Amino acid sequence: MTSGKIPIGRFLGTLFLAILMALLSTAIHAKDPSEALQAENAFFRGSHLLSRENVSEAIPSLEQAVKLDPDNSKYKSVLAVAYNNLGLKLTREGNVPEGVRYIEKALAVNPDDADVRANFTNAVSQAVALGEEQIKIEDKIAFLKKVLELDPNNGPARKTLAALLNNMAVVKGRKGSRELEAAELEAALTLEPSNAKIKKNLATAYFNAGLEKGKAGAFQEEVEFLRKARKLSPKDALVTENLGRALSNLAVAKGKEKDVPGQIALLKESLELTPGDVVTKKNLAAVYNNLAVAGNGGMAFQERVSHLEASLKLDPKNPSTLKNMCSVLTAEAIKEAKSGSSSRAIELLEKAVKLDHQNKAASSNLAALYHNAALKKGDEGKHEEEIRLLTKALGYDPSNLEIKNDLAMAYNDHGVTLGKKGDTKQELEFLTKAAKLVPGNKAIQENLARAKEKSSAKEAGKDNKKGDDPAKKKGKES
C-alpha cells in the first residue's frame, strides 16, 4: 500500500487555482466578512507553508482557517492533508503513537478519505506492535477500536484487540477489580467468541467476582456471576459446588422476605447441581413442611399432602413432618367418616398410623372405625370377620375396654357356635381366649366350664372305646 501522502507539487497547482476561485467567488462561507477574510488569510498562510513542506508550521494556520470558517470543505480538506502528512512523517521517524494521533485527526476532519483510512490502519498496526514502554495498552486498545469502527470486518484487528483486552483484564483482576476484569473479558469474547483462553479467563473472573459478592452478603449478584461462570465452564466442579451453595444462601434470604415460590425454585436449582447436599435437602424439606401447615385455611387437602410428601421425600425421618402428615390425614379421615365414607377414612388412617405409631388421635379413630365395622359383621352372623376386625381395633387401641369386651363376646359366640357343630376343640380355644380378655365375665366362664366338661367327656369316651377293642382283649387273655 502507498504511503498516502499527497504530492506537494500536484497539491500546489490545484491550491492556487482554488484560492483564485475563492477570491472571485461572491459566496462567502463565514457569516462575518471580516472572519471570512481572516480565514482566507490563515488558509493562504498555511497553504504556503505546506507547499514548502513545513507541515508543523502550516497546521496552526490551517486549523485557524477551519475554526473561523468550519463549513469550508476546501479548508478542511487541506487541513486533513496536513494532519495525514505529519502523521506519516512522525511514524517514519519512529514516533508512531504521535503519528497515529495525527492521522486520526485527519480522519476526524475528512472521514471519507480512503487514503487516510488506509494510513490510519497501517499506523495502528505498527503502534500495537510496540512495547508497553513506548505506548500504553489503553492507547493500543483505543486505536484498534477506531480501526474496527472504520472496518468492522478487519479480522487481524479484532483478534489483536481481543488479545489486548484479555491481557488488560487479567491485570485488573490481579489488582482486585473483578467486575472491570469481567467487563473487559466480555468485550474480548465478543470480538473472538471461539477463543478458549478468553472463555476460561472470563469464567474465572465471573467466579471470583461472585465469591466477593457472596462475602459481602450480596447473594443475588453472587448467583448471577456464578451462573455466568458455569455457563462458560459447565464441567468445573468448584464452580458448580459454589453456585449450589450460593443458590441455597439466596433461598434463605428469599424465605426471610416471605417469597416462598422463589425460595423453593432456588433450592430446587441448588439440588440439581449438588444432589447430595444434606443441608439444602433439609432446607427444602422444611419449606415444603411449613407451606403445608401454614395458616391457610383455603389450601386443599391434596395440596397439603403433596407438600408434605415432597418434604418427606427429601427428609424421610423428620419427626415434625411425620407428625404433621399424620395430623392432616387424620383430620381428612374424620371428615370422610362423618360423610359416611368409612373405607376411605380407614385408608387414610392406616397411612397416618404407619407414619406415626405414637399418634393417639389416628390410632383411636382407626380403632373406632374397625370396631364399628366389626359390630356390623357380628350382627350379620359373620363372627370370624367380626373377630378379625375387632382384633385389629384392639391392636390400635389396646386399653379400650369396650373393644376388649366385644372381642371377648365375639370369641364366646363363635366358640359356642362351633361347639354346637361338634367342634369341641375350637370351642374350647375360643372360649379360653374370651376368658383371658375378660376374666370376670360369668357367662363366658360358665360356657368355658361346660366346654371343658364336654371335652373331658369326649376324651373319656375315646378311652372307653379303646378299652373295648376285641383284639386287645384277646391279647390280654393269651
How big is the chain, counted in residues? 478
pLDDT interval class at 440 (50, 70, 90)? confident
- Report the pLDDT value the prediction gives residue 13, as an integer from 0 to 100: 36
Q: Please report, in angstroms and rounded to a whole number, the separation of the first and last CA atoms in the chain.
A: 148
Residue 27: what pLDDT? 38
The DSSP line for 162-189 is HHHHHHHHHHHHHTT-HHHHHHHHHHHH
State pLDDT tens for residues 171-181: 888 887 888 89
Is 0.85 surpassed by the pTM of this model? Answer: no
User: Is a pLDDT exceeding 50 seen at residue 307?
Assistant: yes
- Tell me what the pLDDT averaged over the chain comes to: 87
C-alpha cell at 124: 495502528
pLDDT exceeds 70 at position 216: yes
pLDDT tens sequence across 226-266: 999 999 999 999 999 999 999 999 999 999 998 999 999 99
pLDDT in tens, 6-30: 433 333 333 433 443 443 343 344 4
Position 473 scores a pLDDT of: 44
CB 198 within 8 A of CB 162: yes
- pLDDT category of residue 182 using cuts at 50, 70 and 90: very high
For 156, other C-beta atoms within 10 Å of its C-beta total: 12
Q: What is the pLDDT of residue 467?
A: 54
Tally of CB atoms within 10 A around 69: 23
Q: Write down all domains in the chain, each with its CATH number in brackets.
A: 1-147 (1.25.40.10), 153-269 (1.25.40.10), 276-358 (1.25.40), 380-468 (1.25.40)
Compute the average pLDDT of residues 299-319: 92
What are the C-alpha distances in Å from 107 to residues 111, 126, 208?
4, 18, 41
Q: How many CB atoms lie within 10 A of CB 421?
A: 10
369 pLDDT band, cuts 50/70/90, is very high
